[in-house]
Structure 1
Amino acid sequence: MNVGLGLPISDPPALLDWARHADAGPFTTLALLDRLAYDNPEPLVALAMLAGATTRVRVQTEVLLAPLRQPALMAKQAATLDRMSGGRLTLGIGLGARRDDYRAAGVDLHGRGALLDEIMTVMRRVWHGEPYGDGVGPVGPAPAREGGPEVLFGAFSPAAIRRIARLGDGFLCASPLADVDRLFRATEHEWQAAGRSGRPRLVAQVNAALGPDPVIEEARDALHRYYSGSEYMDMPADYADVTVERMLTTPGEIRDALTRLNDLGADEVMFYCWSGDADQVDRFAQSLAP
């Protein structure tokens, strides 16, 4: 089973050191989250720099808020990054859950699921080299991977799970560990029901931090701050507190989570780091050693 790292957002220039360090280690993927109305680096721009600073590790959006972006330009950006990185891009996409992101982009919240379906249809057409539309020819460059980069959908609802089977290559599951089995099995069921061959790629995301107490407290504060606020749609009032409580903070918890997720059929586990302490790269690598 592959293991990747979700990168902290507090110090964008430091991410180059994180990336070079992880590229020399056992990790398979580096990921960045996406928000608009927040103090985080824009993920496609940042990941392009990280891809240029590395030679092996994949780069992944986790997840890109597709409805906030114009589809032809987004398809072109993703294809460019995929092509220039030698096919190392995984495009994790989803809807997001914050009203302020949609307000900042001037996008109506209503019908965002249908909009995501339309966006994916457009991007697949672009990546296949077909004309964009009436009077508009193909939008290049062609991605490194025929048909476009790997697409994982972040999903929670039954409708979103069905979207994976219709339009994606796999599932990026950021739900609590207790819910992973149910969601993985639902994804596989919908994949088969849609007549897809093979199996969906199943990726789990887990919040984590390793290090001395100040590193853990920094991570808890950052995680709580990120998930706090009144802009969330359909989230319980204690969501930030519960999320912080679930964060993994010891090598034993990391190993236990890997064993559990491997047993559930995960192809990759992304440990999302919330402290800016780059020594966590070595600590996570050590926790993976047999």
Structure 2
Amino acid sequence: MEVGIGLPISAPELLLDWARAADTGPFTTLGLLDRLVYDNPEPLIALSVLAGATRRIRLQTEVLLAPLRDPVLLAKQAATLDRISEGRFVLGLGVGGREDDHEAAGTDLRTRGRLLDRQMAVMQKIWSGAPYSDTVGPIGPLPYRAGGPQVLFGGFQPAALKRVARFGDGFLAAAPPSWIGSLIDTVHRSWAEAGRSGVPRIVAQANAALGPQIVVDDARTAMAAYYRFAGDRADQMVAGMLTTEAAIRQTIAQYADLGVDEVMLYCYGADPGQVDRLAEAL
């Protein structure tokens, strides 16, 4: 079982400390979420900085809201980061469900899924090195990995789960062990029906905070603010945060039993000391 760290967004100036500490530990991936109308760092820029400060660990958007972005520029940005990091970049994508993000970007919330499908077709063509059109040549650089960086999709709806087999390499499952199983089964079934070889990569997410009470309180406050739009569901998510070593180990074991390949421990508290505490918990 691989274990990564989802980086906090409340203190961008501390992300280098998090990344350097994680790069020397047992962790496999650094993840960074995406919003537009929120006080968070832009993930592609932030992960580019972290790529230069690390040597081993993967760098992952989790998830980048693709419909808010131009696909040609996004393809170029992703290929650049993939090339510079020598294949350590993982492009996690989703459609985004917050109305304010789409209003600010000028995109239609109702058609965001279909837009993502069109974007993927454009980006895959660009990553292949083919000319963009009859009158426009190839758009480089070519990514480090032939065909483009590894692409994972997040989501819960049937169309999102089918998108994994259609365009992706795996599934980002932001669900607890109690109900992630059916999502994984659907992804595997769609993968087989599409005639894909091998198996999709499954990455789960769990919210965690380790440290003195001030660290846990900081994490809960930050997480509650981020998910305030979700109402009562936000309170349930905050209440489910893992705050002990035993709870973290148990949750990772539960995901492993369900066939998950990697667990991302998402940290909303800003204290970089959590990296060492999480490493000890593992």
Shift of 1:176: 2.5
Match in the other structure for 2:100: 100
Q: Distance in 1 between matches of 2:99 and 2:130?
A: 34
Q: Distance in 1 between matches of 2:136 and 2:107?
A: 24
For the Cα contact (< 8 Å) 1:156–1:175, is it kept in 2? no
Is 1:260–2:268 an aligned residue pair?
no
Q: Distance in 2 between matches of 1:136 and 1:93?
A: 26
Shift of 1:178: 1.3
Q: Distance in 2 between matches of 1:10 and 1:223?
A: 10
Match in the other structure for 1:240: 234
Name the amino acid aligned to 2:273: D
Match in the other structure for 2:83: 83
Name the amino acid aligned to 2:3: V
Shift of 1:177: 2.3
> Helix, strand or coil for the counterpart of 1:111?
helix
Match in the other structure for 1:283: 277
Match in the other structure for 1:251: 245
Is 1:178–2:178 an aligned residue pair?
yes
For the Cα contact (< 8 Å) 2:6–2:266, is it kept in 1? yes
> Helix, strand or coil for the counterpart of 1:145?
coil
Name the amino acid aligned to 1:274: Y
Match in the other structure for 1:273: 267
RMSD: 0.8
Match in the other structure for 1:232: none
For the Cα contact (< 8 Å) 2:218–2:269, is it kept in 1? yes
Match in the other structure for 1:28: 28
- Map 1:173-252 → 2, pairs under 5 A: 173-229=173-229, 237-252=231-246
> Helix, strand or coil for the counterpart of 1:135?
coil
Q: Distance in 2 between matches of 1:177 and 1:262?
A: 10
For the Cα contact (< 8 Å) 2:97–2:109, is it kept in 1? no
- Map 1:159-170 → 2, pairs under 5 A: 159-170=159-170
Q: TM-score, normalized by length of structure 1?
A: 0.96
Name the amino acid aligned to 1:99: E
Shift of 1:133: 2.3
Shift of 1:138: 0.8
Shift of 1:134: 3.8
Q: TM-score, normalized by length of structure 2?
A: 0.99
Match in the other structure for 1:60: 60
Q: Distance in 2 between matches of 1:133 and 1:160?
A: 28
Shift of 1:155: 1.5
> Helix, strand or coil for the counterpart of 2:115?
helix
Shift of 1:285: 0.1
Q: Distance in 1 between matches of 2:210 and 2:97?
A: 28
Shift of 1:245: 1.1
Q: Distance in 2 between matches of 1:226 and 1:3?
A: 23
Q: Any runs of at least 4 consecutive aligned residues in structure 1 with deviations exceeding 6 A, and if so which?
A: none
For the Cα contact (< 8 Å) 1:224–1:241, is it kept in 2? yes
Mark the runs of 5 or more structure 1 residues left unpaired by the alignment. 230-234
Q: Distance in 1 between matches of 2:68 and 2:133?
A: 21
Is 1:157–2:163 an aligned residue pair?
no
Q: Distance in 1 between matches of 2:36 and 2:262?
A: 27
Name the amino acid aligned to 1:33: L
Query: What is the aligned-residue identity percentage?
Result: 61
Deviations 1:221-275 (A, max 9, x none): 100000003xxxxx5x311111101111110010001110011011100000010
Mark the runs of 5 or more structure 2 residues left unpaired by the alignment. none
For the Cα contact (< 8 Å) 1:34–1:65, is it kept in 2? yes
Shift of 1:108: 1.4
Matched residues, number: 282
